Structure 1
Amino acid sequence: MDPLARRNVNPAHVVLFHTALGVYAAGLIRRGGPWWQSRLAPALLLQVKTVLDNLDGQLARATGQTTETGRYLDTEMDLVVNGALNLAIAGRAGIPLTVLQSLILTTDFLWERDYRTARGEVFREGAAQAGDHPRVLAALKAIYAAYFLPQERVLGSWFETRLNVVAGESPTPEQRRTYTPLPTTAIAANLGLTTQLAFLGLCLLADKPQLYTRSLPVQALLLLGVQRWREGEVRRKRPS
């Protein structure tokens, strides 16, 4: 990261570069061909994309270049790559699979947010740098509002409703902490995009990319099981 910081590299350019790598990897998968071209090369490209995806945020924070534009851009470019990969592997079925994948990643986002909020921690620092291009930022916000925000509202409302049901009353701070234990947050975090692309890379190397798309419903069922468990924890500790 230090060489990039010294050269004053714009984190948004890193986002666009690793997005291009991800889309190119999806193109190689869809095109087919020899194993090294349609499986090995995409698998490696996706791991490079992951490294750069984790790096862009660190670079932005280290150089004081965090912006609203960068945050929206990073999230939405990940969606572009995920959609391209799912379509390359599953064809038309890749569209609902991408939505399911988004719901899994949104659950990770919400559970981490709720974990920190319940403990009085800051979830995400505000942007350090102003000067976003107003039209670009407005367009990114519109996309986010159309696709991601409904997911956050529906899932967030459902999680809150379930807490209200099992708490038996207006949830106390202690019940909120019980509802958002670290193991729950860790399980969701381990289904984040880094893990998703690592597992996809392994599936590609094994020449079984469909195994990845088939895993998405299993991941969703796992999260539903975790949800039932955390509801049970609140119910178990509820005063008689």
Structure 2
Amino acid sequence: MLVDPLARRNVDPSHVVLFHTALGVYAAWLIRRGGPWWRSRLTPALLLQIKTVLDNLDGQLARATGRTTETGRYLDTEMDLVVNLALNVAVAGKAGIPLTLLQSLILTTDFLWEQDHRAARGEVFRDGAAQAGDDPRVLAALKAVYAAYFVPQERVLGGWFEARLRAVAGNSPTPEDRHAYTPLPITAVAANLGLTTQLAFLGACLLAGQPKFYTRSLPFQILLLLGVQRWREGRVRGRGQD
């Protein structure tokens, strides 16, 4: 509903990213500040849902207007990290820093499982940027942050997922093994632990006056993903026994 009106007004998708980042950080500040229920619970809960809508909008707007860029993709990912860190620290204090890493591992699993699901079926995961002309200094800075924070997670988790596949399928997994290892349900589970759901759940916890219930849920989300991992290993192992 918002893509067409914003496209007609030539709104820059990167400006949408910066705006919803500001909303998320402001929501975190309100949570940390405290005060009346409407300021410490209701307002940030609503701001986070607006942030979610706009976060889903920026990519759609960029694709619809042919304005996808490398800068925009890195900016979106890293600004989400800024908001997540601010929110977790606002709710849990210093403990919010390691909790943010735990949350990142959940979101990285979502990214990797969808990537592997599509690769196993010969599908394109992410189209190339439609626009060039990125500011080289800005892009280099964003890439450096991504390389320092996200790439190690992707390598460790991706390497572990691949090692688990080889442990149950042998050193040379077949295309059929990879297909069995990456069924649609795993991407559905991981996607439903994505940032949209995370912020919706945090909003509900804020309204209930129990924001720490959200941060305490993160280890249980990891346990759920580990259970799904064991299930998909079992699918491959079952193929070898047939």
Interval containing the TM-score (normalised by the shorter chain): over 0.9
- Show structure 1 runs of 4+ deviating over 2 A: none
Counterpart Cα distance in 2 of 1:219 and 1:52: 25
- Any idea what the Cα deviations from partners look like across 1:144-172, whole Å, max 9, x if unmatched? 00000000000000000000000034100
- The equivalent of 1:53 in structure 2 is 55
Counterpart Cα distance in 2 of 1:238 and 1:200: 42
SS at 2:240 equivalent = coil
- The equivalent of 1:198 in structure 2 is 200
The residue correspondences of 1:166-185 to structure 2 (distance < 5 A) are 166-185=168-187
Counterpart Cα distance in 1 of 2:213 and 2:171: 43
Counterpart Cα distance in 1 of 2:126 and 2:186: 19
Counterpart Cα distance in 2 of 1:134 and 1:183: 39
- Letter matched to residue 14 of structure 1: V
SS at 1:238 equivalent = helix
Correspondence 1:208 to 2:210: yes
Counterpart Cα distance in 1 of 2:109 and 2:169: 21
Aligned with residue 154 of structure 1, among 156, 166, 177:
156
- Number of residues paired by the alignment? 240
Structure 2: gaps spanning 5 or more residues: none
SS at 1:50 equivalent = helix
CA drift of 1:239 comes to 4.7
Counterpart Cα distance in 2 of 1:30 and 1:142: 30
SS at 1:94 equivalent = helix
Aligned with residue 83 of structure 2, among 81, 84, 92:
81
Counterpart Cα distance in 1 of 2:63 and 2:170: 42
Correspondence 1:95 to 2:97: yes
- Letter matched to residue 138 of structure 1: A
- Letter matched to residue 17 of structure 1: F
- The equivalent of 2:17 in structure 1 is 15
- The equivalent of 1:29 in structure 2 is 31
Counterpart Cα distance in 1 of 2:170 and 2:66: 45
Aligned with residue 135 of structure 1, among 114, 134, 137:
137
Counterpart Cα distance in 2 of 1:190 and 1:124: 19
Aligned with residue 106 of structure 2, among 104, 107, 112:
104
SS at 2:172 equivalent = coil
- Letter matched to residue 96 of structure 1: P
Counterpart Cα distance in 1 of 2:56 and 2:86: 20
Identity rate, percent? 82
State the TM-score, normalized to the length of structure 2.
0.98
Q: Give the root-mean-square deviation of aligned CA atoms.
A: 0.7
- The equivalent of 2:166 in structure 1 is 164
- Letter matched to residue 64 of structure 2: A
CA drift of 1:3 comes to 1.1
